[in-house]
Structure 1
Amino acid sequence: MTALQAQTVPVPMLDVDLEFLDIVTEWDTSTPFHQWRPGIVVPATFRPAALPRVIVVANQKGGVGKTITSLELALAWVARGRRVRLIDADPQKAGLTVWLKETCYPADGPRLTLRDVFYGKATLAEATYPTIYKGLYLVPSEPDLNDVENAPPTKVLSPESLLRDSLRADEGDWDITIIDSGPNLGKLTVAALVAAQDAIIAIQDGGLEVEGTGSVLETIRSVRKRLNPQLQVRAIIFTDFKKDKLCRKIGNAMFKAFPDALIVPARESTQAGWASLAKRPMRMCAPGEKPVLDYDRAADLLVAPEQKVG
């Protein structure tokens, strides 16, 4: 890793008196809709994960909230004293590298990216930079990361397993690594799924977005069978969640499909929309907003404090 510069912005814990959602074991579909209250579904079989952890946030579609989900979960864990690294595996210009533009890059010398790691020009540690937020680090990417998808074998050796092997060789003491994957199911997304232990699926509540989720789920099944049998879907997060009958129907369908995973409604918020437009973390500019609370609670459930090992 490059020499650390000062990380100047602490990430505070949230006030416990804020309007958090209830924890439930499933959504009650027998209650009349107007009386129904959505909650975070924590199945009876669910157990928090031990650290260290590698998590991929995935969906085949763009614009469903993968980057926001990655960033808000990361900041929630940083607030709890975790050392978190984000890997921007999305070549789109709206990815994590843009959101974390105040990353502490070196004043001189090349700025290394994830593309350099895939092309063997840098190690993952060398391409990891501190952000301005204490405890949060970034492996940046640029649109030229797309080159990896079409690179010949002589340029990128074993692309499916390269990220996994790079993580294993990394000497950094990371509690959690989060990989923000891209919108297509090519080499980069497969590499992220092979490298991870846990998958978080970010979806919006529209019918087309949910139908598109089937492709990434099929890819997850294929990766589990061929390359990474330990990969498991740990959470389904509804971004911009609003209470309606379709959401309740889809949430129950996801619960049946993944009975051991969290179902998290990250509620919609006007202030959160402004934060997204400004490419600023919601937790830092609108800490009392409902989606921030929902991501915060999800972070607490996914990794319990007493589960850290090593």
Structure 2
Amino acid sequence: MRETQAQTVQVSPLSDDLAFLDIVTEWDLSSAYHDWKVGIVVPDTFRPNPITPRVIAVANQKGGVGKTLTAFELAMALVARGLRVRLVDADPQMAALSAWLIACFPEGKRWTLTDVLFERCSLADATYPTPYVGLYTVVSGPDLGEVENSHEKPPGVESLLQYHLSTEDQFDVTIIDAGPTLGLPTVAALVAAHDVLVPVQAASGLDVKGAASLMQTINRVKGRLNPNLRIAATFLTDFDRSTLSRTIGGQMVKAFPDALVVPVRRSVRVGEAQLAMAPLRLFTPGTTTTLDYDLAAALLTGATVPTQRTAS
């Protein structure tokens, strides 16, 4: 990893008196709809994991569910808590993380995740600073999709990220933004990860099916390559208060009984932040979307959350 003087933007904690969601132990599906109150589900069996270094994969076998938004905003929330965070773009789509998060490249060769998977460089070599103090990134591009069918990929490439991550301790948390298909980069991300976060659009039944397909993949990875992998949270992105959102949330609670279920309230400012190539947390600090990711980051790491926002 090459250090530069590019990191100049500080990421500050949010105030505790903002409109965070309540924290509940289960999703209320029995009350009348007009009496229902949205909350983040923290089941009694959920256990935060403050241990560092930590590797988190953000995945769902369907595009357009908010994977990149989830990876980016959680990273910013963790940086605001004083953690040193690396974001890895493992999605070959042009509209992925590398198009949103600015990397500060030094002079010379610019390594990417493709180079790491072809063993042209180490993961540390491909890690670059961003303008935000404490946040680093590994960029990607369309050529990442070529790794799948290349005859030049090294043996055991599925475990290559795990190897690099197990031999370094420069970062408290590495978050991997996986692609929407079960390709080699996605499998490599799951093999390397301790936790998986599953974004699901709150208004799309098809996204629920994508999550079910991902569960099959995770079970195969656990059985063969990474027995300690767990689903730590599911995120209901573009959430608005509707019967469909409540139904989909209830299905996620049932499907992942030990995981957080986090409604991420919809905000039109998300698209504006992406167009401005800025994190939503800094573009509009008080938006509900930012608050939901911020509270989720605290819950995942066992950090202190506002006690007045806790309900039974």
Query: Which residue number corresponds to residue 44 of structure 2?
Result: 44
2: distance between equivalents of 1:177 and 1:305?
A: 18
Please list every run of 5 or more consecutive structure 1 residues that lacks an aligned counterpart in the other structure: none
The separation in 1 between residues aligned to 2:116 and 2:217, in whole angstroms, is 24
1:65 equivalent to 2:42? Answer: no
Any idea what SS the aligned residue of 1:40 has? Answer: strand
Structure 1 match to 2:2:
2
What is the CA–CA distance in structure 2 between the aligned matches of 1:125 and 1:178, rounded to whole Å?
A: 14
Quickly say closer, same or farther: Cα 1:116–1:303, change in 2 above 3 A. same
The total of aligned residue pairs comes to: 302
| 2:169 counterpart of 1:134 | no
Q: Which runs of 5+ in 2 are unaligned?
A: 305-312
Q: Secondary structure at the match of 1:29?
A: coil
Equivalence map 1:50-129=2 (5 Å): 50-101=51-102, 103-106=103-106, 108-129=107-128
Residue 234 in structure 1 maps to residue 232 in structure 2: yes
Q: Tell me which moved more, 224-233 or 250-259.
A: 250-259
Assess if the C-alpha contact under 8 Å between 1:125 and 1:172 holds in 2: no
For 1:125 and 1:212, the matched residues in 2 are separated by 32
Distance 1:188 1:6 in 2: 28
- Deviation at residue 259 of structure 1 after TM alignment: 1.0
After TM superposition, the score normalised by the length of structure 2 is 0.94
Indicate if the aligned counterparts of 2:232 and 2:260 stay in contact, CA closer than 8 A.
yes
Distance of 2:121 and 2:169 partners within structure 1: 15
Q: Which runs of 4+ in 1 moved over 6 A?
A: none
* CA distance in 1 between partners of 2:115 and 2:100 (Å): 20
- Give the superposition deviation at 1:198: 0.2
Once the two structures are TM-superposed, the CA of residue 22 in structure 1 deviates from its matched residue by 0.1
Q: C-alpha offsets along residues 151-194 of structure 1, whole Å, 9 cap, x if unaligned?
A: 12x4332121111112112x342110000000101111111000
Cα displacement (A) at 1:39: 0.3
Q: Is the 8 A contact 1:201 1:237 kept in 2?
A: yes
Q: 1:177 — aligned with what? A: 174
State the match for 1:301 in structure 2: 299
1:142 and 1:28 mapped to 2: Cα distance?
42
Q: Map 1:141-152; keep pairs closer than 5 Å.
A: 141-152=140-151
Matches within 5 A, 1:279-298: 279-298=277-296
Equivalence for 2:187: 190
AA paired with 2:11? V
Decide whether aligned partners of structure 1 residues 279 and 62 sit closer, same or farther in structure 2, where only a CA change above 3 A counts.
Answer: farther
- Write the distance in 2 (CA, Å) between the matches of 1:305 and 1:261: 17
* Structure 1 partner of 2:254: 256
**Contact 2:53/2:169, CA 8 A, preserved across alignment:** no
Say whether residues 1:201 and 2:198 are aligned partners: yes
Q: Which residue type is aligned with residue 189 of structure 2? A: A
Q: Which amino acid aligns with 2:131?
A: I
Superposed CA offset, 1:34-83 (max 9, x none): 11011000001112102221000001111110000000000000000000
Deviation, 1:115, is 0.5
Instruction: Tell me if structure 1 keeps the 8 A contact 2:21–2:40.
Output: yes
Task: Write the letter of the residue equivalent to 2:58.
Answer: V
AA in 2 matched with 1:91: P
Shift of 1:273: 3.1
What's the counterpart of residue 273 of structure 1? Answer: 271
**SS where residue 105 of structure 2 aligns?**
coil
Question: d(CA) in 1 for partners of 2:285 and 2:12?
Answer: 9
Partners of 1:118 and 1:276 lie apart in 2 by 28
Aligned partner of 2:198: which letter?
A: I
- In structure 1, the residue matched to 2:307 is none
Shift in Å, 1:279: 3.5
Q: Distance in 1 between matches of 2:193 and 2:282?
A: 27
